[in-house]
Chains A and B, each alone.
Chain A
Amino acid sequence: MTMLAGIGRSFLSFLAMMGAVSTFAGRAIFHAFAPPIYWRLLGKQLIAVGYFSLPVVGLTALFTGAVLARQIYIGTGRIGAESAVPTIVVFSITRELGPVIASLMVAGRVSAAMAAEIGTMRVSEQIDALQTLATNPFKYLVGPRVLATTLVLPALVLVGDVIGVMGGYFMATEMLGFSGSAYIRNTIDFLEVSDVVSGLVKAAAFGFLIALMGCFHGYRSQGGAQGVGRATTNAVVSSSILILAANYVITELLFAQ
């Protein structure tokens, strides 16, 4: 009986959590767009999330592109199709690896920072202080973060796409004996707009999830430093899992025949 009760309890708390996340998401979206918008805070977040994530995203994209080119070269070599390397590299990066890897890196950086900052504000009563100063914490804290991350992630991914393809290009031309002009021509000729656009759509969705999880766990944190630590961990783990799950769902929605 205790086992059944345990299963029931965890199922109920899962449902409660889903409800809480949905309500939170609804309020976050509403306050991200309903005036007044705190432009100063939005700008601050755009810089914190976008600009300062560039090194992380650029470096991971560079290495991923290079490794990808090497592995695809080995794989296609088995069936004598090495000339497909540029096409497969750009296809994989724009559709999958660009958005997913960039978002996972940003999730580690940004959702953790948001959960820690908002969590600390919660446990030190700063969120209560906001409310007593007639300021809606959703509008002041959550809205700008969610909006900024959703807007800026596609831009980051676009940069990551370009750098990733460049990583593949360097590997192919320097180590694998491809000619530079042929590599670029093959990259461009077989690239479709939908490859890039689908990746950017994913990026926007992932950006929303990253900020949502960071804010959600931070906002609900309780119990001092330990609580903030837990919120930070939960934010990174849940946003990473949600990114991968959402990636599956969006891919099915966009490309399933």
Chain B
Amino acid sequence: MTEISKISLRNLQKRFGEKVVLNGVDLDIAPGDSMVVIGSSGTGKSVMLKCILGLLRPDGGTIQLDGNDIGTLRQRERNALLRHVGMLFQGGALFDSLPVWENVSFGLLGAGGISRRDAKDHAIETLAKVELDAPTADLYPAELSGGMQKRVGLARAIAASPDIIFFDEPTTGLDPITADVINNLILERVQELGATTLTITHDMASVGKIASRVAMLHDGKIIWSGNASDIDRSDNPYLNQFIHGEAIGPMRPDASTTMPKETY
């Protein structure tokens, strides 16, 4: 790869006690790419994402965002970097003690230099981009449906016009129609921002919709990566089993692959 990667993982390692979760992950995402990482539940997709975001400390390897090795950054520098990063959490992870607009503008308010009135106006503009109307801004997250929470989560992720956005299972728990709406919104907003994205999912409909490149994580390693258009033409048996959702194949989904959580 000749051009500089926006996101670059080299030999990323993470284990919890005895269990090796990430066993040397190498991944490069070029600027403007929409990378989707697929893999069975419990293969370490979320752990990889949490390592990139600095929520978990990897045991080995390097992570570069925009050419900065995040392992060597000081807290202040890391925060500055994070202001250019958006994240949509699987469950939304909206702050339920705050109204919707404060959720959306949380990053802006935290960065300072903006009045609460302006922040609210900005939140309402951002909500419009995910097709939510102004009265929604004053509701609390608990008053929203699952699909609306996802939209608010998306609004929060794009509010600061980030150039890198992460999506953690953006369509999990949604009905197929709502999922498609969310996929379309992601596609539109990301293209508008020109952002580089990394999505982890096991929803093949999502992959078909938003991916420009696909990588498959299995047993703590990337076992296949390529253009989204090549995914059906691969002769990788793991990938083929996964995209066709077959129980019979080289992978044997194991009940014991649940991920132990790190204690903070």
* A interface residues, Cβ below 8 angstroms from B: 117, 120-121, 124-126, 128-136, 219-220, 222-223
Asked if A133 and B106 make an inter-chain contact with CB atoms under 8 angstroms apart, the answer reads yes
What is the CA–CA distance of A135 and B100 in the complex, to the nearest angstrom? Answer: 18
Q: With a CB–CB cut-off of 8 A, which chain B residues contact A135?
A: 106, 110
Q: With a CB–CB cut-off of 8 A, which chain B residues contact A130?
A: 95
Asked whether A126 and B93 contact (CB < 8 A) given A132-B82, A135-B106, the answer is: yes
Asked if A126 and B82 make an inter-chain contact with CB atoms under 8 angstroms apart, the answer reads no
Asked whether A134 and B55 contact (CB < 8 A) given A125-B89, A128-B50, the answer is: no
* B interface residues, Cβ below 8 angstroms from A: 50, 53-55, 75, 79-80, 82-83, 85, 87, 89-91, 93-97, 106-107, 110-111, 156, 261, 263-264
Asked if B89 and A129 make an inter-chain contact with CB atoms under 8 angstroms apart, the answer reads yes
- Given A126-B96, A131-B55, A132-B55: 9 more A-B contacts, CB < 8 Å: A124-B93, A125-B91, A128-B89, A132-B85, A132-B87, A134-B83, A135-B106, A135-B110, A222-B261
Asked whether A223 and B53 contact (CB < 8 A) given A128-B89, A134-B79, the answer is: no
Min CB–CB distance B3 → chain A (angstroms): 26
List 6 interface pairs A-B (beta carbons < 8 Å), by A numbering: A126-B95, A126-B96, A129-B89, A131-B53, A134-B80, A222-B261
Min CB–CB distance A72 → chain B (angstroms): 45
Asked if A220 and B95 make an inter-chain contact with CB atoms under 8 angstroms apart, the answer reads no
Min CB–CB distance A145 → chain B (angstroms): 13
Asked if A128 and B96 make an inter-chain contact with CB atoms under 8 angstroms apart, the answer reads no
Q: With a CB–CB cut-off of 8 A, which chain A residues contact B261?
A: 222-223
What is the CA–CA distance of A220 and B54 in the complex, to the nearest angstrom? Answer: 17
Q: With a CB–CB cut-off of 8 A, which chain A residues contact B91?
A: 124-125
- In chain B, what residue has the closest Cβ to A133? B107
What is the CA–CA distance of A134 and B78 in the complex, to the nearest angstrom? Answer: 8
Closest 7 CB pairs of A and B: A125-B93, A134-B79, A129-B93, A134-B82, A132-B87, A133-B107, A222-B261
Q: With a CB–CB cut-off of 8 A, which chain B residues contact A136?
A: 75
CB-contact partner of A133 in B50, B75, B82, B90, under 8 A: B82
Min CB–CB distance B65 → chain A (angstroms): 12
Asked whether A128 and B93 contact (CB < 8 A) given A133-B107, A135-B106, the answer is: yes
- In chain A, what residue has the closest Cβ to B83? A134
Asked if B107 and A134 make an inter-chain contact with CB atoms under 8 angstroms apart, the answer reads yes
What is the CA–CA distance of A209 and B264 in the complex, to the nearest angstrom? Answer: 20
What is the CA–CA distance of A135 and B93 in the complex, to the nearest angstrom? Answer: 14
- In chain B, what residue has the closest Cβ to A136? B75
What is the CA–CA distance of A124 and B96 in the complex, to the nearest angstrom? Answer: 10
Min CB–CB distance B253 → chain A (angstroms): 22
Asked whether A131 and B89 contact (CB < 8 A) given A220-B263, A220-B264, the answer is: no
Min CB–CB distance B92 → chain A (angstroms): 8
Min CB–CB distance B70 → chain A (angstroms): 12
- In chain A, what residue has the closest Cβ to B103? A129
- In chain B, what residue has the closest Cβ to A126? B93
Asked whether A219 and B107 contact (CB < 8 A) given A126-B96, A134-B83, the answer is: no
Q: With a CB–CB cut-off of 8 A, which chain A residues contact B96?
A: 120, 126
Q: With a CB–CB cut-off of 8 A, which chain A residues contact B85?
A: 132
Asked if A134 and B93 make an inter-chain contact with CB atoms under 8 angstroms apart, the answer reads no
